[in-house]
Every structure is written in C-alpha cells, then in structure tokens.
Amino acid sequence: MAKISKLKNKVSGDKSAWFLVIPVLIIAGLAAISFGGGDAFHMPTNAGTVSARPVELSFSDVLRRANDIKTMDIRGNDATGTLKDGTKYTATIAYDPELLSKIAANGTSITIDSTRPFMERMTFWLPILLWVFFIWILLRGPRGVGRSIAAQNPTKITTGNSKKTTFKDVAGIDAEKQELMEIVDFLKNKDKFRAVGARVPRGVLLSGEPGTGKTLLARAIAGEANVPFFAASGSDFSGIIVGLGVAKIKEMFEMAKRNAPCILFIDEIDAIGQKRSTQIHNDQDREQTLNQLLIEMDGFANDTGIIVLGATNRVDMLDPALLRPGRFDRQVYIELPDANGRNEILKLYSNRVKLSPDVDLMDVARGTTGFSGADLENLLNEAALHAVRMGHTNVTREDMDEAIDKIMMGPRKVRKIRDTDKKLTAYHEAGHAFVSQHYADITDPIHKATIIPRGRALGMVQHLPIDDKVSMTIAEVRAQLSIALAGRAAEEIFFGADKITTGAESDIAGATRLARYSITTAGLSPKVGTVAVNQSTAWSGRSALENASEKTAELVDAEIRDWMDAAHRDAKNILSHNRATVDRLANELLRRETLTGDEIREIIANKKSVKKITAKKPATKKKTTVAKK
C-alpha cells in the first residue's frame, strides 16, 4: 500500500510539473520553426574561381551585365555573388521574379534566401504565445494553479523519529504546561475520554508576548504525545495567485488526516485569521483562506483526531468565528515569567555554558524583570560572548552584569566626555542613589550606580527587585516619583538653577507617565476620584482623556502638576539636608565610575552626621501639599 501511495504522489507531482513543461515545449517548438531554413530557388551553373575583392554594382549594372553574372545569392533586396571572370560583387536589387528568370536564362545560378530574422519572427509569434498561455490558465482555473504551486511548498512535518522536544525543555511556565497536559493525555489515551463522553478541545490558541515560548510549548506537546507534528506559518498561506491560500489549507489538513492523530501548529495565525471586514475594498483572497480554515476546523467530520494549535501575540485582531468553542475551544495566555520562573529558565539554558561559581542565577533573575525566555537565553549568550572577548575560561559575574547592561541600555560608548559633563552626571546619579537609599524600606534595593555611558544614557542607577510586584501603594508611587526627579534636584542644588541640563528628559517622562496612570486609571487621586478617565482604544493604546469633559481634563492636568512638583520638592528637601553625603557619593562615582549597592550603602552609613528623614514624614508632607493645592 505504501508503494501505491508513493506512486500516486509521483503521478500527482508529474501532473503538476506539466503546468510548467507544456508552455516551455510550445515555445521551444515555435523557436525551432523560427530558426529553420526558408524557401530557396536554386539554379546550378558551372563553378569558377572566386575573387578576393567584391565590387559594388548598381541595379542598372546588374541589368546591363546580366550575361557576365555567374552566381547570385539574394536575401531581401541585397544580392551577392561572382562574375564569370571570378570577381566578387555586391548589389542592391528590386525583387522581381520575371526579371530574375531572364537573368537565370543567361546561365546564372540564382539562390534566394527567404528566411526572416529571429527578432522579426518573435514579434510575430510572441503575442500569439501569450494569448495561448492566458487562455490555457483560464481553462485550467486559478485553484488548479494554486494546487500545483502548493504541492511544491509542502508543510513542514516533524515525526516521532526526529529529535524530540518535551516539557523538560520548557521552564518557567508551569501553570501553562499543566493546562496543556490534557491534550497530551488525550493523544495518548483517547478511549479514556470517549468512555466518559468528554470531548477534547479541537483547537488551543497560545497567546502572549513575543519570546515567551509559544512555539516551543507546541513542539513539546507533540514530543510528549509522540505524534506527528505539522508546522506552518500564517504567511505561508498568502501569495500573489488567487486561491493559493485555500489550496494550501486543504493540502495541510488532508496531510494531517492521513497521519491522525497528530498536531497541526499554525504560528502567527493572525496573518490569516484577522477580522473579516464589511468594507467593499477588502482582501477577498485572505477572507477566502480564513473561511476555508473555519470549515476545516469545524466541518462535518467531528472526530478527525487532529488538534490545531495556534500562536499569536495579537489576539485582539482575530475573527470572533475563529475563537468560538468548537474551533479554538481553549485559550492559554503565556505570561512573562516571574522571578522563580526566570531562575528556572536560566538554570535550563545555563547547561549550555560554563558558569563561574560566583554567578548567582537567582540574583540575575531578580534583576531581569520583564525578560522573556528568549531574552534570558540571549542574555546568557551575550555573557558567554563577553567572556570570550575578555579571555575568560568561564562566564563570571562581571560578564553577566555587562550582558545585562548591554541589553537594557545598549553597548558601552567609547567617547570623550567633558569633565564638566562627567561631574554633572556623577551628581545626577548620586542624587538618584541617595534618595533611593532614603526610601529603601518601601522601594527595591539599589544594585549599582554607574556613570559609564551606554546607548543614549550617560549613567544610571539600577535596582534589584526582591520579588515581582503586581501592584504599588500610593506611598511607593510617591517615593518612585521623588527618586525619578532626584537627578534634576541634585543638578539644581549643586550647580544652580541656571545650570540644569536635558539629562533628566527620560526621568521626567517616566515620572509623568506614572503620575498620569496613578491619577487617571488607578484612582489614587482624591481630587479626581475613583474613576477611569482614560479609555482603551481598539488598538490597545490609550487616548488621552477620551471620556472626560474639559473641566475634568483641566483637573487632571493640575493634579499631575501638583504630584510632580511635590515629588520635586521632596527630593530637593532630602538632598539639601544631606549635601555632604551626596557630595562624597558623587566624588566616589567620579573616582571609580561604578559603585555597587553595598558600596553605596557603606558610603552613606559612614557619614554619621547625616540628618536622617523618615520615609513617613515626606510621604505625609507630600499628601498634605497636594491636598492644599
């Protein structure tokens, strides 16, 4: 049976090949006719000697010396040949059969070449060929063309003989793996579900941020179940030929049915599953492809043994008919890993590199909040590359820190910085560091401070979260605002209000976003109240004060200004009462360029004359100040 199947596939492939072979054969045949010899009129005569120099004869000379001409070769209006005395000649004549007969009667051997030049013949045949080819395509139909081209681009398939990916190769998303264990159990023990009357989900949609492991998880399901795994991308079903997407959908599901039970994975499914439009000028071919996918996923055959896995990071773009039960019955959102998840992912990928004993993966996980699994794998690779550049035999903590800084801020800049700019940057970062340490009881601890330029930043203060936070108190929000504006406050205190720079641009932008979110969305402002002033748009963005009146918009603007001004005053108050300690911290930054969190805490603690201000007092003061305004 296997041989018969292979033979059928071969015959089908041969038929598809004729789609291109037939036009080529037609063109080759017509070209051969074009290059063939033409009609010739030959009258033999006696041979003679040939002269080396041809003479030019006019048409009247040819008529007058007809008895002297021995041979004549005619091509169009040009004639060449030899005279009876052996002299070669060339002439321009008018083609006249009666005249040529009179010349031949004198014993002249005449040969007429009636073949036409190649380009002349192509200008005659090319339009005919194009029309024949066009009519042949119309008779064959676009869907047949799509099927023949689709057969040349088969869906990728991974069978049980290939290298397997299992759940052991997936880390940091334990809850999502548990959700998908039912799929694996169904593929292994189908009768157990049928006995109870349970229907396994026909489709599972994996969504989440890029790099969270959607494709890896799909391969792991196939590896655990030990079934064939068919993979395709949403862009594979689009093409310039109408009907190509529909043909490929049919081909893919037919192949999956022959290998059922199996898993059919469509990555970036939003490329073909976008919402259908009611507009006149819409993409009819894409919508036909989507319709075919909907039919295949929930057709008349309810028990095909095919489980469709889809992956996308744009669920909001998908058509509702694709998301309904019976097609994609289950949606699994893969979140960015938390600290423990990042630690597990780092442990998994660290088996590929040689780590130094001084590398604490949990510390790395704590300092990489917001990193996906792909980001963490790239982090370890960047650390390994830096270790090779530095000549290390294994990846050290220094290599890891360098990789984190490079990914978060960009590569280190090797450029000449003026002493005044470097000094101002040191005091700017010292202001951030001191206020961060001042609010250490309610904010994340400092990991390090540096004035080494990276990307567009001249320096930074990096924090190391103890754990992942899912929410913030109003005290934490106000402390974060004070920390963000502490750099600008330090510039004003130590250099004067007329020497402030644009270096606080990103700090001010970030603080403004936090204040606006807290007031308009989180309901943390008593003046605005517990109302959501902003609305989410269709594109998951936020339109500024879309559902607010002009009076409410003015109130929101005034409240944001009050929060920012209060945070700025709080930062200046803290730094003004501790000028000597901040000055010492800035000088140490100038001398060493980078200070760790422990070094910063030691510098601050060694100054016993520091006037401490409790965290509660400024927070209360800020609230009171905002309330007065």
> How far apart, in Å, do the first and last CA atoms of the chain sit?
86
Strand bridging mode 262-267 / 306-312: parallel
Contacts of 561 (CB under 8 A, 6+ apart): none
Q: Which of 587, 603, 584 is nearest to 423 (CA)?
A: 587
The single residue listed with the structure tokens 């694709």 is: 322
Is residue 172 a contact partner of residue 337, using CB atoms and an 8 Å limit? yes
Strand bridging mode 306-312 / 203-208: parallel
Radius of gyration of the chain from its Cα atoms, rounded to whole angstroms? 41
Is residue 215 a contact partner of residue 158, using CB atoms and an 8 Å limit? no
- Residue numbers annotated as active site: 429
Contacts of 567 (CB under 8 A, 6+ apart): 478, 481, 482, 484, 485, 511, 622
Element (H, E) at 289: helix 284-297
What is the DSSP secondary structure assignment for residue 455, as one 8-state letter?
T
User: Which stretches does DSSP call E strand in 399-544?
Assistant: 446-450, 460-463, 535-536, 542-543
Residue type, 295: I
Q: Which token pair is 499?
A: 């020497």
- State how far the alpha carbon of 323 is from the alpha carbons of 202, 206, 287, 306, in Å: 11, 12, 16, 17
Q: Which of 574, 629, 587, 578 is nearest to 607 (CA)?
A: 578
Return d(Cα 313, Cα 268) in angstroms, integer. Answer: 8
Q: Which token pair is 622?
A: 């800020």
Return d(Cα 287, Cα 321) in angstroms, integer. Answer: 12
Please state the separation of Cα 235 from the chain's center in Å.
12
What is the DSSP secondary structure assignment for residue 412, as one 8-state letter?
B
> What are the start-end ranges of the H helices in 152-283?
174-188, 190-196, 214-225, 244-258
Q: Which token pair is 15?
A: 């038929």
